Copies of this chain bind each other. A is one copy, B any other.
Amino acid sequence: MTASAASLLPIGVFDSGVGGLTVLRALRAALPAEDFLYLGDTARLPYGTKSASTVSRYALQAADRLAGRGIKCLVVACNTASSVAIPALAASLAPVPVIGVIEPGAQAAARATRTGRVAVIATEGTVRGGAYPQALAAIDSRIEVAQKACPLFVALAEEGWTDGPIVEAVARRYLEPLFIGPRPADTLLLGCTHFPALVTPIRRVVGEGVVLVDSAETTAAATAARLGGLGLCRGQGIGTVRLMATDGPERFARVGSVFSGEPIAPGDVELVDL
C-alpha cells in the first residue's frame, strides 16, 4: 500500500476498557482530520491486576482485530498493556507503527521535573513491571522515581465518584507518603488512563507546587509526529470515530461518558468478540 493510500486508513486505539477514551480525546484534538477506530476490551478488564503474559496475550488479540479492519497505526492507550506488550505488538503488526503511552509520559515527566524526583502512580501491573522507572532512567539516569499502585482509583473513577471526601481520603492515603519526607517528588505522573478523572482531589492532596503529568496529550503529540514523519497524516476534513467493545455497550456508554468528555449512547458502541 502506498503512503497516500495508507493515510486514508483510521488510527487504531486500544485500551482495556473506557479509560483510554481520555487518550482518544487528546488524539482527536491533535489530529482532527483523522478517523479513529477504538477498541475497549471491556469483557476482560481490568488489565491492571493481571500478569504480564496474560495482558500481552489479550493485547495481541485486540491488536489483531484492529489490524484486520485496516489501520495506519496503533495507539496503545492502556498503561498496563503499554508497559508489557509494546515489543510483541510492534513485531506482530509490522510495518504498522505501534505507539504506547509509557515513553511519551516519561518524556513529559522528565521535562517537567526540576528537582529530579518523580512520583508515578499506576495499576499494580504497571508498577510491578517497572516500565516507567526504566523509561525515565533511559532519559536521565539521575531521576529518582517513587512508585505507588493505586487500584482503588480505578474503581472510584468507574463508579463515577470523581470528587468528594471519600475520594480525597483515598487520595491522601495513597499519595501523601510520596510527598512527605526529606526528598519529596515535584512531579506526579498519572500512569493510568483512569486517573485524570480524579485530577481535582489529586491536585488538592498534592498541592499546587507539584506538576501533574498525564500521558494523553504527550501521546497524541507523539502520534502526530510519528505519522507526520511517515507521510501518513490526513490533511483536511473532520474525522470520524467508531467505538467497539468486547462486552456491555450500555456500561461502556455510561462509564465511558465520564472519560470521553461527551455523552456516548449504547447504540454508538459495536460489540465485538475476541
20 residue pairs A–B, Cβ–Cβ below 8 Å: A42-B49, A43-B44, A44-B44, A45-B49, A49-B248, A50-B247, A51-B247, A51-B248, A54-B247, A54-B248, A124-B251, A151-B155, A152-B152, A152-B155, A152-B161, A155-B155, A166-B166, A166-B169, A166-B170, A166-B173
B-facing residues in A150-171 (Cβ within 8 Å): 151-152, 154-156, 158-159, 161, 165-166, 169-170
| Residues of chain B within 8 A of A43, CB atoms compared | 44, 50, 54
Question: Would B159 and A169 count as touching, CB distance under 8 A?
Answer: no
A161 to B49, CA, bound (A): 16
Question: Would B166 and A50 count as touching, CB distance under 8 A?
Answer: no
Cβ of A39 to closest chain B Cβ, rounded Å: 16
Cβ of A3 to closest chain B Cβ, rounded Å: 39
Where the two chains meet, the residues of A that have a C-beta atom closer than 8 Å to any C-beta of B are: 42-45, 49-51, 54, 124, 151-152, 154-156, 158-159, 161, 165-166, 169-170, 173, 247-248, 251
A169 to B168, CA, bound (A): 12
| Residues of chain B within 8 A of A50, CB atoms compared | 42-43, 247-248
Cβ of A221 to closest chain B Cβ, rounded Å: 32
A196 to B76, CA, bound (A): 37
| Residues of chain B within 8 A of A165, CB atoms compared | 169
Name 17 extra pairs, CB < 8 A, besides A54-B247, A54-B248, A166-B166.
Answer: A43-B44, A43-B50, A43-B54, A45-B49, A49-B158, A49-B248, A49-B251, A50-B247, A51-B247, A151-B159, A152-B155, A152-B156, A152-B159, A152-B161, A154-B155, A166-B170, A166-B173
